[in-house]
């Protein structure tokens, strides 16, 4: 016997009845789904290192944008208010407290007066349409040590010419360079490029130096020698099917971490475009030995990329053996990255 489908009026009455049942439920019973989502978010934030990287580098992808997961808290809160659910509201305390514990300290201004040396790092961009303007803006920033990454060979002479007056000492290896007011010595390449060329192309086996993306040099200061590393790690790609593709970057980060570990100078500064945030486990070999100037002495998150609407801090200044006093962003140039700066003291 065929049953006739319910009429629209009957369906409407049933829906109203279900809503009435939901409204009749107590505030500690409504919003169970929202409460579960809040608890899961509260567990994801502190346990992000437990997310496996086996499938699409999911763990690293989450860690790259970890602070932005805090935006889910007001979304869930709005849902809890809409449902008038005390259960969901109480559950939201967990992610709120955890997020503040992890990132709340970055919201305050931790900068201090003073410092002995100002350092600046900038990925100037191979496609920068205004190399002259970029060089002049960097010269005007007043850094003692200036590190540039992604130097296009065609623009190298432009930077050398425009920075010559402010910086009598400089060294360039491949696509990275250091300009300094103080003498430089003991400059050597650090191979962090692995299988990638300066702009992502394959690196020929017989060519290394021309494709170099990392260097180490010594800056002679009044307080003694300072080892300065400059690096531009491999790019990452996000593919809906494959997830986060970061093999070359991760290999470069491990190589850079080994170089820093082997450094015998007590005072070390690492400048560069690391193409990732320091929450990413890929940088454990570096962050276990060095401190981020932004986290110690910055004001806010210091997002540096992309310049038009920064969403991630992928340009880094890390130190060992010196004390960060302040860390800040410089105004945008013709690059798609913002320059990052820090002042350190002995």
Residue 186: CATH number of its domain: 3.60.10.10
Mean pLDDT score, 29-52: 94
Domain-ending residue, one of 107, 136, 166:
107
Same domain, 212 and 340: yes
Q: What is the mean pLDDT of the chain?
A: 89
Same domain, 92 and 145: no
Reported confidence tier of residue 7, pLDDT bands at 50, 70, 90: low
Reported confidence tier of residue 315, pLDDT bands at 50, 70, 90: very high
In a domain, 31, yes or no: yes
In a domain, 1, yes or no: no
Q: pLDDT value at position 300? A: 94
Domain-ending residue, one of 62, 89, 107:
107
Q: pLDDT value at position 236? A: 86
Look at strands 268-273 and 224-232 and give their pairing.
Answer: parallel
Same domain, 17 and 127: no
Q: Note the pTM of the prediction, 2 decimals.
A: 0.86
Question: Distance between alpha carbon 140 and the CA centroid of its chain, in Å?
Answer: 25
List of residues 6+ apart from 23 with CB closer than 8 A: none
Same domain, 338 and 201: yes
Mean pLDDT score, 63-73: 96
CA separation for the pair 66, 86 (Å, rounded): 27
Same domain, 101 and 125: no
Same domain, 92 and 163: no
In a domain, 227, yes or no: yes
Number of folded domains that form the chain: 2
Same domain, 37 and 154: no
Q: pLDDT value at position 67? A: 96
Same domain, 87 and 148: no
What share of the chain has pLDDT > 70, as a percent?
A: 86
Directed axis angle between helix 32-44 and helix 72-83, to 10°?
A: 160
Write out pLDDT tens, residues 281-314.
999 999 999 999 999 999 999 999 999 999 999 9
Same domain, 85 and 157: no
Q: Domain range holding 174?
A: 117-345
Same domain, 186 and 333: yes
Domain-ending residue, one of 107, 135, 151:
107
Task: Give yes or no for residue 57 having a pLDDT over 90.
Answer: no
In a domain, 2, yes or no: no
Write out pLDDT tens, residues 204-259.
444 343 478 999 999 999 999 999 999 999 988 877 666 678 888 999 999 999 99
Q: pLDDT value at position 234? A: 92
Same domain, 308 and 174: yes
Same domain, 129 and 38: no
In a domain, 160, yes or no: yes
Write out pLDDT tens, residues 186-195.
999 998 965 4
């Amino acid at each position: 016997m065929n049953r006739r489908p319910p009429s629209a009026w009957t369906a409407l009455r049933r829906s109203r009845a279900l809503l009435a049942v939901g409204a009749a439920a107590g505030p500690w019973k409504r919003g169970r789904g929202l409460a579960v989502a809040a608890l899961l978010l509260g567990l994801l934030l502190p346990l992000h290192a437990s997310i496996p990287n086996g499938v699409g580098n999911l763990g690293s992808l989450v860690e790259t944008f970890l602070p932005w997961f805090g935006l889910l808290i007001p979304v869930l809160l709005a849902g809890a208010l809409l449902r008038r659910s005390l259960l969901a509201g109480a559950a939201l305390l967990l992610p709120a407290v955890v997020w503040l514990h992890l990132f709340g300290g970055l919201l305050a201004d931790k900068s201090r007066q003073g410092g002995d040396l100002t350092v600046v790092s900038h990925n100037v961009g191979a496609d920068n349409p205004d190399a002259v303007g970029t060089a002049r803006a960097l010269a005007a920033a007043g850094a003692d040590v200036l590190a540039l990454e992604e130097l296009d060979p065609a623009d190298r002479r432009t930077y050398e010419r425009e920075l010559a007056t402010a910086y009598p000492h400089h060294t360039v290896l491949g696509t990275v360079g250091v300009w300094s007011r103080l003498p430089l010595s003991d400059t050597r390449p650090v191979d962090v490029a692995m299988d990638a060329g300066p702009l992502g192309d394959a690196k020929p086996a017989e060519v290394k130096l021309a494709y170099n993306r990392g260097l180490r040099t010594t800056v002679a200061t009044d307080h003694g020698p300072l080892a300065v590393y400059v690096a531009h790690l491999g790019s990452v790609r996000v593919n809906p099917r494959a997830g986060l593709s970061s093999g070359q970057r991760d290999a470069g980060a491990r190589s850079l971490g080994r170089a820093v570990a082997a450094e015998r100078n007590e005072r070390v500064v690492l400048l560069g475009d690391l193409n990732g945030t320091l929450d990413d486990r890929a940088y454990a070999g570096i962050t276990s030995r060095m401190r981020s100037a932004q986290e110690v002495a910055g004001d806010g998150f210091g997002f540096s990329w992309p310049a038009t609407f920064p969403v991630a801090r992928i340009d880094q200044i890390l130190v060992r053996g010196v004390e960060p006093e302040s860390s800040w962003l410089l105004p945008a140039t013709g690059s798609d990255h913002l320059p990052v700066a820090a002042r350190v003291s002995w």
